[in-house]
C-alpha cells in the first residue's frame, strides 16, 4: 500500500473522535437552566440562593442573565463554602456548562456535589503565645460552640480575631495558625490555634505627609490620631484614628501604616516608625440638590419636591471649622382646590399641581473641637419667609436659631444637647389675633432645651438586616424659657432587625411618648403633641388621623373642629417581615398597632387600633421605593376601605 495513503488513513482515524465531539465555548450565552445534583442534606432552593448564575425569567426582558466563566467558578467556590460552613469539611463541587438542547445561544449550568461526612467540634484550644494574653481569649474561643457542626469560616474568623488581639496589645507580627485534629472516622474534630507572638513593638516617630494643595493644620490632624510615640503598638487605635480622620469630612484619602525597618533594642523588643499620609478635599464647595420627600400631612412619596443650593467652606483657615449657607424650596403635589389631604391612587389621574410648601434660607457654623474636646458645637440660623400654614390657612415668616453640642460616647452611641429659640410673624393679621393663631401649627414661637441620646448598631441604615436603633429624647419647652408654649415632653424609640432563616428579615418597633403641660398657663400645639396614622406609623389610616380631634369646645379662635388635635400620650408597636422576591423587588407583610390618649389614665387595651397589609419594594441605590396596601382590622372586614401608601424607604 502506498505510504502516503497509510499516513492519510491514520490522520483521518485520529480525527474521527473529534469530528463528533462538541466543544463548549463561553460566549455570553443566556442562562436557561441551573441544575444541582448530588445534594441530599440541603434542598435545591437553599443551594440556588447562593448562586450568581440564575435562569432567565419573563421579567428579565430588559437585562438578560448571561453566562460567564467567572460566575461559574465563583458559584463553585460558594457552594463548597456553604457546605464547609455547616460541618461538611470534605465536600467537593464540580461545575460545568453546556448548550441547552443544542441551542448555542442558551446555556445550562450544572453543579455536581459530593457532600462527604459531617464533622462536629470536640474541643477548641490554644498552644503557644503568652499565658497573660491567652487567659483573656476564652470569650473568642466560645464563639465556636462545642458538639455542633464545625463552621470553617467561623474557625478562620476566630483565628483572625486572635491575631488582631495580639496586634492590639503590642504584637503586630504575631501569627496564628488553625489546625484540625480528626478523631476516628472524622466525625469529631479538635481545633488547635498555634500562636507565635514574635517581637513586642513600640510606636516610633509618627510622621504626617499631606499630598495635594489642600493643606490642614498639623495640630488638627494630630488631635484625631489616638496612637502616640513610645506607646505599645495598637492595631485597633490605628484603625479608629483613620476612621476619625475620615469622619471630619476634610480628607478623601487617609493611610496610616508602619514604614521602614523595625529597630530592635533587644531580641524581643522593637521600635516601628509610623507614617500618616492624607489627601485633603477642596475646602470650598457649591452643591445643588433636587429630590422628593414626604411632608407630614401627606402619605404619598411624591407629595413634596425639594430643591436646594448650598455653598461654604468645610475647612476654614485650615482648622477644620465649617461655614455653610443654604437656600431651599419645597413644592407639594396636591389637587387644585385642596391644600392638605391624603392622596389616593385615583388622585393620580385627577387635576394635580405643584403648590409651595416652604422656602428657607439658612446659615450654619461648626466648631469641631469645643473647649479642646472632640465635641462639635454647631450654630444654625434659619429664616423661612412667606410660608403657608395649612392648619390656619395663613402665611407666616419665621426666624429661628439653634445651638447644639454633640458628644460621642462610643462608636454606636452619642448624646446631643440643644437650645432653640424662634420668632414668628403671621402676615396680614393684627397682633392680638396673631397671638391666638400662634397657638396652633408650626407658626409658633418656641423656646426649647432638648437632650437627645441615640444608639445605632444597624448594619445598614436604609435596608437593615441586623442590629438595632434606639433613641431617647427629653424636651423642656417654654415655662422659665418663655415663648408661646409651656410643657415637658419625653419619647422612647426602639427598633430591632433580625434574620429569620436565610432571606427573611423580622423588623420590630416600639415607640412611647408622654407630654405634660407645665404651670397654670401650660399649653402645647398639635405639632408638639403626638399623632399617629399614615405611611410611617399605623398604615391603613390617613396621615395623623388617629387620636383626639378638635371640638367646638376646644376652639382656640381658629376653625379646627374635626381636625387632628393630638394627644399627650402615645403608644405604637409594629411588626414587619421583609424578604427579597426576585430581581430588585422585595415584599413585606406587616401589622401595626397603637393609639393616642389625652392622659395616661385614659389608656385602655381595647382602645388600641390596629391594621395589617402587604407591600412591594423596588430597591434603588438610595434605598427602597415602597408601595403598600393596608386595611384596618375590625369586626366587619372591608378590603375596599384600605389605603395605599407610596413612600421612600421602609416605615422604620
Q: What is the residue whose three cell numbers read 400631612?
A: 297
| Residue 17 is assigned to a structural domain of this protein | no
| Residue 2 is assigned to a structural domain of this protein | no
The dihedral formed by the CA atoms of 334, 336, 337 and 343, expressed in degrees to the nearest 10:
-30
Enter the C-alpha cell of residue 586: 422585595
Q: Is the pLDDT of residue 18 over 50?
A: no
The answer to whether the beta carbons of residues 39 and 115 sit under 8 Å apart is yes
* pTM score of the predicted model: 0.80
> pLDDT value at position 551?
82
CA nearest neighbour of 82 among 69, 98, 93: 93
493 and 598 in a single domain? The answer is yes
The dihedral formed by the CA atoms of 116, 121, 126 and 127, expressed in degrees to the nearest 10:
-50
Last residue in a domain, options 245, 280, 315? 280
The answer to whether the beta carbons of residues 338 and 303 sit under 8 Å apart is no
User: At a CB cut-off of 8 Å and minimum separation 6, what does 172 contact?
Assistant: 166, 201, 233, 235, 258, 272
pLDDT band at 268 (very low <50, low <70, confident <90, very high): confident
Write a three-state SS string for 196-244. Answer: ECCCEEEEEEEEEEEECCCCCCHHHHHCCCCCCCCCECCHHHHHHHHHH
| Residue 177 is assigned to a structural domain of this protein | yes
> pLDDT value at position 39?
94
Between 93-107, 296-310, 484-498, 572-586, the lowest mean confidence (pLDDT) is in 296-310
In this structure, what CATH number is given to the domain that contains residue 632?
2.40.160.50
| Residue 258 is assigned to a structural domain of this protein | yes
Enter the C-alpha cell of residue 293: 420627600
Last residue in a domain, options 157, 176, 196? 196
Last residue in a domain, options 280, 305, 329? 280
pLDDT for 299-313, tens place per residue?
343 456 789 999 999
476 and 616 in a single domain? The answer is yes
- Show contacts of 344-351: CB within 8 Å, 24+ apart: 344/643, 344/644, 345/644
191 and 176 in a single domain? The answer is yes
The answer to whether the beta carbons of residues 79 and 94 sit under 8 Å apart is no
pLDDT for 520-543, tens place per residue?
778 888 888 999 998 899 998 888
564 and 623 in a single domain? The answer is yes
225 and 104 in a single domain? The answer is no
Average pLDDT, integer, range 564-572:
93
532 and 549 in a single domain? The answer is yes
Domain count, the chain: 4
Q: What percentage of the chain carries pLDDT values higher than 70?
A: 88
Helix (H, G, I), strand (E, B) or coil at 526: coil
288 and 374 in a single domain? The answer is yes
487 and 398 in a single domain? The answer is yes
The answer to whether the beta carbons of residues 118 and 88 sit under 8 Å apart is yes
The answer to whether the beta carbons of residues 516 and 568 sit under 8 Å apart is yes
Between 228-242, 325-339, 509-523, the lowest mean confidence (pLDDT) is in 325-339
35 and 66 in a single domain? The answer is yes
Average pLDDT, integer, range 157-167:
96
Residue 414's Cα: distance from chain center in Å?
Answer: 17
| Residue 498 is assigned to a structural domain of this protein | yes
> pLDDT value at position 338?
60
> pLDDT value at position 63?
77
> pLDDT value at position 129?
94
Mean pLDDT for all residues in the chain: 87
399 and 519 in a single domain? The answer is yes
390 and 519 in a single domain? The answer is yes
Q: Which helix (H) or strand (E) holds 309?
A: strand 304-316
Q: Which helix (H) or strand (E) holds 506?
A: strand 504-517
pLDDT band at 615 (very low <50, low <70, confident <90, very high): very high
6 vs 48, residue with greater confidence: 48
635 vs 366, residue with greater confidence: 366
61 vs 503, residue with greater confidence: 503
In this structure, what CATH number is given to the domain that contains residue 245?
3.10.20.310
Enter the C-alpha cell of residue 346: 385615583
Strand stretches in 350-466, DSSP E: 352-367, 377-389, 394-408, 413-426, 447-456
Domain that holds residue 233: 200-280
pLDDT band at 297 (very low <50, low <70, confident <90, very high): very low
| Residue 16 is assigned to a structural domain of this protein | no
| Residue 4 is assigned to a structural domain of this protein | no
106 and 127 in a single domain? The answer is no
| Residue 11 is assigned to a structural domain of this protein | no
Amino acid at each position: 500500500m502506498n505510504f502516503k495513503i497509510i499516513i492519510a488513513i491514520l490522520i483521518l482515524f485520529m480525527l474521527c473522535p473529534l469530528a463528533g465531539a462538541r466543544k463548549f465555548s463561553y460566549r455570553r450565552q443566556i442562562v436557561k437552566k441551573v441544575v444541582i445534583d448530588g445534594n441530599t442534606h440541603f434542598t435545591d432552593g437553599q443551594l440556588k440562593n447562593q448562586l450568581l448564575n440564575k435562569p432567565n425569567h419573563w421579567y428579565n426582558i430588559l437585562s438578560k442573565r448571561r453566562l460567564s466563566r467567572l460566575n461559574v467558578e465563583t458559584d463553585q467556590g460558594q457552594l463548597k463554602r456553604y457546605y464547609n460552613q455547616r460541618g461538611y469539611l470534605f465536600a467537593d463541587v464540580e461545575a460545568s456548562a453546556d448548550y441547552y438542547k443544542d441551542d448555542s445561544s442558551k446555556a445550562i449550568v450544572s453543579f455536581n456535589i459530593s457532600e462527604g461526612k459531617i464533622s462536629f467540634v470536640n474541643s477548641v484550644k490554644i498552644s503557644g503565645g503568652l499565658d497573660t494574653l491567652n487567659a483573656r481569649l476564652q470569650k473568642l474561643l466560645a464563639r465556636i460552640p462545642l458538639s455542633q457542626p464545625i463552621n470553617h469560616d467561623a474557625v478562620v474568623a476566630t483565628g483572625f480575631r486572635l491575631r488582631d488581639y495580639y496586634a492590639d496589645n503590642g504584637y503586630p507580627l504575631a501569627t496564628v495558625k488553625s489546625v484540625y485534629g480528626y478523631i476516628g472516622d472524622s466525625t469529631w474534630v479538635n481545633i488547635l490555634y498555634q500562636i507565635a507572638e514574635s517581637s513586642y513593638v513600640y510606636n516610633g516617630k509618627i510622621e504626617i505627609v499631606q499630598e495635594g494643595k489642600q493643606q490642614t493644620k498639623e495640630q488638627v490632624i494630630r488631635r484625631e490620631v489616638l496612637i502616640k510615640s513610645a506607646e505599645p503598638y495598637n492595631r485597633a487605635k490605628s484603625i479608629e484614628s483613620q476612621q476619625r480622620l475620615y469622619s471630619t469630612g476634610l480628607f478623601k484619602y487617609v493611610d496610616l501604616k508602619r514604614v521602614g525597618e523595625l529597630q530592635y533594642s533587644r531580641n524581643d523588643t522593637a521600635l516601628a516608625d509610623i507614617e500618616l499620609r492624607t489627601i485633603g478635599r477642596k475646602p470650598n464647595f457649591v452643591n445643588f440638590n433636587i429630590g422628593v420627600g414626604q411632608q407630614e400631612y401627606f402619605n404619598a412619596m411624591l407629595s413634596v419636591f425639594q430643591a436646594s443650593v448650598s455653598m461654604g467652606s468645610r475647612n476654614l483657615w485650615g482648622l477644620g471649622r465649617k461655614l455653610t449657607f443654604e437656600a431651599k424650596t419645597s413644592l407639594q403635589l396636591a389637587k387644585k382646590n385642596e391644600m392638605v389631604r391624603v392622596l389616593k391612587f385615583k388622585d393620580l389621574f385627577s387635576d394635580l399641581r405643584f403648590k409651595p410648601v416652604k422656602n428657607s434660607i439658612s446659615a450654619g457654623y461648626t466648631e469641631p473641637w469645643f473647649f479642646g474636646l472632640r465635641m462639635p458645637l454647631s450654630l444654625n440660623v434659619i429664616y423661612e419667609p412667606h410660608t403657608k400654614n395649612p392648619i390656619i390657612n395663613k402665611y407666616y415668616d419665621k426666624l429661628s436659631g439653634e445651638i447644639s453640642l454633640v458628644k460621642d460616647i462610643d462608636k454606636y452611641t452619642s448624646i446631643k444637647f440643644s437650645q432653640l429659640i424662634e420668632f414668628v410673624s403671621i402676615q396680614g393679621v393684627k397682633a392680638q389675633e396673631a397671638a391666638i393663631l400662634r397657638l396652633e401649627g408650626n407658626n409658633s414661637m418656641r423656646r426649647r432645651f432638648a437632650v437627645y441620646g441615640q444608639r445605632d448598631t444597624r448594619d445598614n441604615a436604609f435596608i437593615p438586616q441586623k442590629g438595632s436603633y434606639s433613641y431617647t429624647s427629653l424636651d423642656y419647652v417654654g415655662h422659665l424659657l418663655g415663648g408661646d408654649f409651656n410643657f415637658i415632653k419625653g419619647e422612647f424609640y426602639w427598633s430591632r432587625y433580625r434574620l429569620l432563616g436565610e432571606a427573611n428579615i423580622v423588623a420590630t418597633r416600639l415607640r412611647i411618648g408622654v407630654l405634660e403641660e407645665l404651670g397654670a398657663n401650660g399649653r402645647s400645639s398639635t405639632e408638639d403633641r403626638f399623632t399617629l396614622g399614615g405611611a410611617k406609623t399605623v398604615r391603613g389610616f390617613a396621615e395623623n388621623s388617629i387620636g383626639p380631634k378638635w371640638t367646638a369646645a376646644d376652639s382656640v379662635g381658629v376653625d379646627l373642629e374635626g381636625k387632628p388635635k393630638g394627644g399627650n400620650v402615645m403608644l405604637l408597636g409594629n411588626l414587619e417581615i421583609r424578604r427579597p422576591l426576585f430581581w430588585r423587588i422585595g415584599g413585606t407583610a406587616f401589622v401595626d398597632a397603637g393609639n393616642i390618649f389625652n392622659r395616661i389614665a385614659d389608656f385602655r387595651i381595647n382602645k388600641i387600633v390596629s391594621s395589617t397589609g402587604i407591600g412591594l419594594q423596588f430597591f434603588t441605590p438610595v434605598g427602597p421605593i415602597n408601595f403598600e396596601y393596608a386595611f384596618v382590622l375590625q369586626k366587619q372586614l372591608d378590603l375596599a376601605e384600605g389605603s395605599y401608601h407610596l413612600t421612600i424607604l421602609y416605615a422604620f
